[in-house]
């Protein structure tokens, strides 16, 4: 195998200063939840380790993951995309087209056998022998199996690759199938969301490059550092939930005051993602901040859970859903009393929460 | 006389997958067949779902123009209810949509289109070194400038819509977020920063000056900024003579506001503008792998033919307006809106240069619109009316995505979606042949394109195809 440059070499070649490089390392460390002690470690790894080649392929999808990726927050992140990790093959951004592009894919696989990360955006449709997604005359599922064979690890970008996403919605006309059901003999890390947050995507990649291993995963195979917390638990509107203050209709006074969107169908209480902490578009905002409930796009099956505007009814841990209803009704009449009742109930529930892991019964 | 058949694809740097079969004779294309080899079946999935779910599901057709899809879905649902959105809601929706369209245009220009001019095949041309420095894929300085400017501009969508792509804020009654006075200032300053990018990098001149160009000559002869570099290349390669469209331009009209649409709706042909009549739209299935007959999207169905029988060759349906093909996109929009330079260009017929010029003119004009809309935000007013969606009814939602006319047609029965049909811009432009054998706009635009001996991926074909800014995931959905 030919000698591969280090990340630092690549970055230097792109004219990135030492200062910016160190800044990138410290930002990355904090994004990954690592202390300042890890900054030199990340820097060292980037200076000495050969860069990891990445092959990025697309199946049934909408390219939203790529779109999200090229908007990561740190100014260097665009260099992460455009040079540092070196997307050796990416059909959305690369220069080559046609047979040249197919040749480039083969070359990359051959050159970095066993060493590259395969990033998959979208998923393969299996109906009709995969004929619903044809790339270079062959079903995407074949390209996927072929590229996966010599990959070191696989990243399933977004809800499509991780779970199936909207194209797998009933009746799933093309039998769109998540990657882990097709490739079963490789380590797969799922980075769900529709799309995933840019910083989460670059964070996951940087971690894998720096430490040369997969980050700690949760039971669903998602990196725990980004998917370990509920949107609800870190939501800036959470105090309003606890206080029983809810938006009852779009653009009502409560909406203007930024009350909780639970009654508008917010799926924050059942969704694990970093939206309420990392936020979107370079930390500007996230859906709940824009006044629309979370739709739970980083959870399996979010597309087929009844209407997106229906209230969540399978809250685990807290068991306040019925109370929120009652509070809502009471609030229409006796606002003060309703809030007080709910606040009391919330405090009780909070005390119980450690013992509750089953979906709650209707208890008060 | 030499004859050969050529299969060009995968295209890359297009949204989704695309393959084009070419018949080549004596170094020129004699016939082209556009195939969209990707099918997901959104219309089937929507059936039986709650009507409002269309607001979440349809944007996921496309990660590049998701706001267009969500605006069309909201408009279709609003039409069922017979209610327009709140005035300020329409304004914020226009801001969100305008930002996305401009972002799409600069992405197309820098990342998808001009990249081909950096190819080694053009080495030796007077402009090649500059094209390599600016436009090389993933490395060129223009790509970096563009990615950064775009990310900054999308802060507006972040602020007003919570996230991009797949923004959820646009609803039939307006938008979910009432901007604050602080938001208004941030929007204005973000737009000022974007103006600097346009004036320093893309146009090399004030936005007003470029938007105000009045003749084809002035546009095609532009010599400043990256726009100037492209025009220089286009003149050298004769791109104004390449990729002739059908000469009929369709626009549904962009940005519906209380005072009317900011870019007009209509159909332009041979110097005259006719009003838009969507009742004249029929989707022909004769050459698509689809079962059923030709129908108006109100009655249309999407049943894939699993046997993929001949003469079908694409998952794409063939929409026709009054039985004829039409071209749609930024250039069509500017022609229909009556922009003098666009009209002047249209007199010579559409071309690779004209389509890119249309996009550049529109970037400049949209920047001016965005600035004016930002100034009209009134934080104290209502941004959303409560709109109850009837249990039964039909609606049509028409918007202009970056790539052209986008329509959603919804039927609701018993409170559930009974039928949902979508015609995307690229469905018009990249449609296969119809029952009469008439090729789609791109298929006919490719006829006559030069193919060099031994060229497998002919550059002329690349330029023509990409000048339409195809979005294949929207095409077939």
For residues B169 and A292, the answer to whether their CB atoms sit within 8 Å is: yes
Q: How many CB atoms lie within 10 A of CB A223?
A: 23
Which pLDDT does position A94 carry in this prediction? 66
**Chain A neighbors of B13, CB-CB under 8 A:** 91-95, 97
Q: Band of the pLDDT at A329, cuts 50, 70, 90?
A: very low
| Tens digits of residue pLDDT in B392-426 | 999 999 999 999 999 999 999 999 999 999 999 99
Rounded mean pLDDT, B445-467: 91
Which pLDDT does position A132 carry in this prediction? 84
For residues B446 and B32, the answer to whether their CB atoms sit within 8 Å is: yes
Helix B352-376 to helix B459-467 angle, to the nearest 10 degrees? 30
- CA-based nearest distance A82→chain B, Å: 5
The helix (run of H) or strand (run of E) holding residue B145 is helix B141-153
Nearest to B153 by CA among B113, B196, B110, B182: B196
Which residue do the tokens 């146009």 mark?
A: B203
| Tens digits of residue pLDDT in B192-250 | 999 999 999 999 999 999 999 999 999 999 999 999 999 999 999 999 999 999 999 99
Domains of chain A and any CATH numbers: 7-227 (3.40.50.700), 232-355 (4.10.480.10)
Q: Does B177 touch chain A (CB under 8 A)?
A: yes
Q: Band of the pLDDT at A1, cuts 50, 70, 90?
A: very low
| Tens digits of residue pLDDT in B286-338 | 999 999 999 999 999 888 888 888 899 999 999 999 999 999 999 999 999 99
| Contact pairs from chain A to chain B, CB under 8 Å | 245
Rounded mean pLDDT, A166-182: 91
Which segment, A174-188, A271-285, A294-308, B214-228, is predicted with the most confidence on average? B214-228
Which pLDDT does position B442 carry in this prediction? 96
Residue of A56, A285, A296 to mutate, testing the B interface (most B Cβ within 10 Å of its Cβ): A285
Rounded mean pLDDT, B60-81: 93
Query: Looking at chain B, which residue has its C-alpha nearest residue A160?
Result: B60
Which pLDDT does position B1 carry in this prediction? 52
Q: What is the mean pLDDT of chain B?
A: 93
Helix B87-107 to helix B352-376 angle, to the nearest 10 degrees? 150
d(CA B269, CA B245): 12
Contact assignment for A250 to B144 by CB distance below 8 Å: no
For residues A6 and A46, the answer to whether their CB atoms sit within 8 Å is: yes
Return the percentage of chain B with pLDDT > 90, whole number: 79
Full-model pTM: 0.86
Q: Is the pLDDT confidence value at A82 over 70?
A: no
Burial B186-208 (b: 16+ CB within 10 A, else e): bbeebbeebbebbbebbbbbebe
Which pLDDT does position A354 carry in this prediction? 36
Cβ burial, residue B452 (10 Å; 0-12/13-18/19+): exposed
Q: Is the pLDDT confidence value at A232 over 90?
A: yes
Q: Is the pLDDT confidence value at A350 over 80?
A: no
**Chain B neighbors of A173, CB-CB under 8 A:** 39-41, 44-45, 304
| Tens digits of residue pLDDT in A253-287 | 999 899 999 999 999 999 999 999 888 887 889 99
Q: Which residue has the higher pLDDT, B55 or A1?
A: B55
Q: Band of the pLDDT at A315, cuts 50, 70, 90?
A: low
Contact assignment for B13 to A101 by CB distance below 8 Å: no
Which pLDDT does position B65 carry in this prediction? 86
Q: Is the pLDDT confidence value at A316 over 80?
A: no
What is the side-by-side order of every strand in the sheet holding B266-269? B272-274, B266-269, B248-251, B327-328
- CA-based nearest distance B217→chain A, Å: 31
Residue of B165, B186, B473 to mutate, testing the A interface (most A Cβ within 10 Å of its Cβ): B165
Rounded mean pLDDT, A324-350: 39
Dihedral sign of CA atoms B304, B310, B313, B318 in order: negative
The ranges assigned to domains in chain B are 3-476
Query: What CATH number belongs to B3-476?
Result: 1.10.645.10
Which pLDDT does position B307 carry in this prediction? 86
Q: Does B86 touch chain A (CB under 8 A)?
A: yes
Q: Does B7 touch chain A (CB under 8 A)?
A: yes
Nearest to B324 by CA among B401, B433, B403, B421: B433
For residues B49 and B36, the answer to whether their CB atoms sit within 8 Å is: no
d(CA A82, CA A93): 9
User: Which DSSP state fits B15?
Assistant: B
Largest CA distance in chain A: 75
Q: Is the pLDDT confidence value at B66 over 70?
A: yes
| Tens digits of residue pLDDT in A27-50 | 777 777 777 888 888 888 878 877
Nearest to A261 by CA among A280, A279, A284, A238: A238
Q: Band of the pLDDT at A146, cuts 50, 70, 90?
A: very high
Both tokens of residue B178?
Answer: 């009432």
Nearest to B137 among A94, A171, A255 (CB): A94
Return the percentage of chain B with pLDDT > 70, whole number: 99
A79-93, A178-192, B111-125: segment of lowest average pLDDT:
A79-93
Q: Does B111 touch chain A (CB under 8 A)?
A: yes
Which positions 414-443 of B are in contact with A (Cβ < 8 Å)? Answer: none
Contact assignment for B169 to A60 by CB distance below 8 Å: no
**Chain A neighbors of B164, CB-CB under 8 A:** 67, 280-281
Nearest to B255 by CA among B95, B371, B405, B103: B95
Q: Band of the pLDDT at A71, cuts 50, 70, 90?
A: low
Contact assignment for A93 to B150 by CB distance below 8 Å: no
Which pLDDT does position A88 carry in this prediction? 53
Which pLDDT does position A40 carry in this prediction? 87
**Chain A neighbors of B308, CB-CB under 8 A:** 128, 131
Burial B16-39 (b: 16+ CB within 10 A, else e): bbbbbbbebeeeebebbbbbbbbb
Q: Band of the pLDDT at A103, cuts 50, 70, 90?
A: confident
d(CA B227, CA B364): 11
Which pLDDT does position A68 carry in this prediction? 80
Which pLDDT does position A72 carry in this prediction? 58
Nearest to A290 among B12, B115, B176 (CB): B176
Contact assignment for A286 to B37 by CB distance below 8 Å: no
């Amino acid at each position: 195998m030919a000698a591969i440059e280090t990340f630092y070499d690549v970055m230097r070649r792109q004219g990135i200063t030492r200062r910016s490089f160190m800044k990138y390392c410290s930002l990355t460390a904090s994004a990954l939840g690592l202390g300042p002690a890890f900054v030199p470690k990340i820097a060292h790894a980037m200076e000495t380790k050969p860069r990891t080649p990445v092959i990025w392929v697309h199946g049934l999808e909408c390219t939203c993951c790529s779109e999200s990726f090229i908007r990561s927050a740190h100014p260097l992140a665009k260099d992460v995309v455009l040079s540092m990790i070196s997307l050796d093959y990416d059909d959305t951004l690369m220069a080559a087209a046609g047979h040249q592009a197919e040749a480039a894919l083969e070359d990359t696989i051959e050159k970095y056998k066993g060493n590259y990360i395969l990033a998959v955006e979208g998923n393969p449709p299996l109906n009709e022998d995969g004929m619903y997604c044809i790339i270079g005359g062959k079903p995407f599922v074949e390209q996927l199996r072929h590229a996966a064979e010599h990959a070191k690890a696989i990243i399933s970008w977004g809800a499509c690759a991780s779970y199936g996403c909207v194209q797998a919605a009933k009746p799933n006309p093309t039998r769109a199938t998540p990657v882990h059901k097709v490739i079963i003999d490789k380590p797969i890390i799922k980075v769900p969301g529709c799309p995933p947050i840019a910083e989460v995507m670059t964070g996951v990649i940087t971690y894998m490059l720096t430490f040369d291993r997969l980050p700690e995963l949760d039971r669903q195979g998602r990196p725990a550092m980004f998917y370990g917390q509920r949107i609800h638990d870190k939501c800036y509107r959470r105090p309003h939930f606890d206080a029983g203050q809810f938006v009852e209709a779009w653009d009502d006074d409560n909406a203007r005051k930024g009350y909780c969107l639970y009654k508008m169908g917010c799926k924050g209480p059942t969704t694990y993602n970093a939206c309420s902490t990392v936020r979107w578009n370079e930390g500007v905002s996230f859906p709940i901040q824009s006044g629309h409930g979370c739709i739970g796009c980083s959870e399996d099956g979010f597309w087929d859970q009844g209407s997106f505007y229906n209230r969540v009814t399978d809250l685990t841990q807290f068991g306040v859903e019925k109370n929120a209803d009652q509070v809502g009704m009471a609030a229409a009449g006796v606002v003060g009393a309703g809030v007080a009742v709910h606040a009391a109930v919330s405090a009780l529930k909070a005390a119980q929460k450690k013992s509750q892991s089953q979906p709650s019964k209707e208890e008060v | 006389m030499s004859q050969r058949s050529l299969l060009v694809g995968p295209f890359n740097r297009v949204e989704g997958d695309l393959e084009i079969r070419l018949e080549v004779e004596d170094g020129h294309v004699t016939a082209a067949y556009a195939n969209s080899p990707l099918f997901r079946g959104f219309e089937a999935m929507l059936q039986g779902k709650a009507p409002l779910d269309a607001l979440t599901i349809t944007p996921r057709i496309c990660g590049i123009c998701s706001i267009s899809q969500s605006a069309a879905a909201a408009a279709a649902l609003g039409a069922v209810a017979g209610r327009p959105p709140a005035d300020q809601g329409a304004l914020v929706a226009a801001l969100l949509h305008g930002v996305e369209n401009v972002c799409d245009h600069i992405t197309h220009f820098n990342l998808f289109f001009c990249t081909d001019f950096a190819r080694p095949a053009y080495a030796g041309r007077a402009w090649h070194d500059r094209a390599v420095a600016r436009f090389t894929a993933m490395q060129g300085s223009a790509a970096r400038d563009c990615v950064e400017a775009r990310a900054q501009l999308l802060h507006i969508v972040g602020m007003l819509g919570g996230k991009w792509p797949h923004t959820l804020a646009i609803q039939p009654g307006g938008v979910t977020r009432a901007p604050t006075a602080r938001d208004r200032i941030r929007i204005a300053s973000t737009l000022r920063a974007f103006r600097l990018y346009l004036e320093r990098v893309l146009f090399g001149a004030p936005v007003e000056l470029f938007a105000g160009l009045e003749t084809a000559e002035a546009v095609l002869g532009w010599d400043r900024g990256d726009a100037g570099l492209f025009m220089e290349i286009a003149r050298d390669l004769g791109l104004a003579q390449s990729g002739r469209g059908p000469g009929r331009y369709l626009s549904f009209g962009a940005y519906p506001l209380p005072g009317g649409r900011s870019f007009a709706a209509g159909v332009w042909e041979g110097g005259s503008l006719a009003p838009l009549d969507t009742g004249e739209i029929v989707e022909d299935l004769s050459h698509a792998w689809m079962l059923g007959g030709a129908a108006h999207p109100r009655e249309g169905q999407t049943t894939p033919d699993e046997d993929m029988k001949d003469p079908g060759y694409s998952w794409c349906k063939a929409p026709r307006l009054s039985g004829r093909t039409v071209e749609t996109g930024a250039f069509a929009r500017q022609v229909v809106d009556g922009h003098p330079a666009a009209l002047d260009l249209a007199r010579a017929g559409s071309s690779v240069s004209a389509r890119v010029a249309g996009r550049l003119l529109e970037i400049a004009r949209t920047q001016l619109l965005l600035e004016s809309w930002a100034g009209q935000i009134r934080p104290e007013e209502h941004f959303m009316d409560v709109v109850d969606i009837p249990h039964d009814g039909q609606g049509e939602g028409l918007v202009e995505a970056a790539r052209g006319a986008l329509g959603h047609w919804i039927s609701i029965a018993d409170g559930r979606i009974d039928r949902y049909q979508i015609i995307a811009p690229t469905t018009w432009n990249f449609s296969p042949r119809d029952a009469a054998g008439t090729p789609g706009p791109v298929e006919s635009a490719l006829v006559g394109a030069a193919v060099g001996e031994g060229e497998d991926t002919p550059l002329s074909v690349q330029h023509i195809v990409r000048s339409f800014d195809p979005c294949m995931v929207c095409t077939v959905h």
